[in-house]
Structure 1
């Protein structure tokens, strides 16, 4: 419009400038149209390739329309900010309807976790909505979650920690310990206990009913049992069968994963005592195994190290929480 106004001027110089501007606008519009056409053509070609790959490997790719809608939603998420995306996501139910911790509660939990680390630790924290999946037969059931995760570093120490919150079938609020790894300096220095104490204080304020764990690395199979966690019935049945065989064997044994276990060389009297514990189907028997000693030998730790089991601790279980508070040094 400016160029058109200039071309109407009675001043020859101004009129020439207007004609030049109009020409430049025309070139720009032509270039834009050419670019848009090329982009559309590339997008169509991409869609066709994806459809060919989908036909070959048995999946249905998103249509161009679906991809454009997803891109638009992502741009809206970027503009809306973390808090609004968490409390009222564009493609999911609000946390109030799902009865999950809201953004303010989740960020307070994140702050309490960071405060339990040594001073000077640097964090990259993420508070986000996500989902976990459980299978009923071959059908995958999506369960909405609220996730709080951190990556941290201080000097020679690095690591990450992740906690997921969701409602189970009974409607209880569950905190799932999906990972906590400390590498380098600080490993074994008591940081884990400080973090657990701080997080359990927050769990009580948040109304968490139980905390789920999957013990499958290093010392966690032993540590969770010491802290009052209890394996599921299936995990306990598998554990006690395996441990009974190992305790009473005088030869190298192998588990289902191919791991070899050297004979424990336990005296017969202690073998019988440990076997009696493992004959009990009550999963809380794992506490007695974790506490077992033969003189100065920590046989409980030997038995539970590197063990893979799934379990939980209920915050309304007085015995379990008394054990947790004792071994973590949490005063209650």
Structure 2
């Protein structure tokens, strides 16, 4: 392992862009399918992995929703969440803010309560066992209607105190943020934070809509913001955090080569970029994999890595005490490496 890789491994980190359903590993998919009597269109684990060769976001989403079919019970959601936390604990991840897609489950007849309570129990157990603090973000599926999003928000009412905010994911093209203006305004009234995927495949205009119409607190992805110099300057001035997912961008052909990823350009411009794994089972890498492979491809320096990690903590919704503790731990690790 190179010195930089060892340095990355040693640092405490946060992950701010993770879809819990996207951490479903093929082995776990098969196990749950057998447990729940679900028939998969794959003969074995190797066949599932072979299917993970996408050309675009939509092809990935088709497989993603098919994989979801094995998630049937509260125990399944607990197991899924706990397995993810156990895995990122090995990457020295200390705080996570994860998305879940309730509409992908309730439309299959799975009770909203089973989904969220299984995930929350998994997060609680992960904090007890691994010391990983967490927040949960309810994501609306943008290919569905705003009315469906309102219905999901209403279903979540008993759990508002356990939900950090709402997000917006799924197929970006043809589904601009403005489509969800009213439900985001209602979520804000309820005291929830607002997040949105924007500028992954969609144009810079979608980032403007997320900022101006949805009034979001953080941008998920945001790559295509770099096509607009005025937008870049605004992101810098407003200190808007971007949750960037390099291996996801590579796997979904948002970039054709990791060497062409815009992360370094973002840093040099002063954008508050962070590194995250998105859907690690499907995209071939968890948190440290994203740091290590991107650092190698872009020739990132130790200072670049420190900036990215620090941005992860600064952009997280941590209590002042927790943030101070983690930033202090980060400083000690940096000092020890010099």
Q: Same fold (TM over 0.5)?
A: no
Q: Would you tell me which structure has more strand in proportion to its own residues?
A: 1
**Relative contact order higher in (CA < 8 Å, ≥ 6 apart):** 2
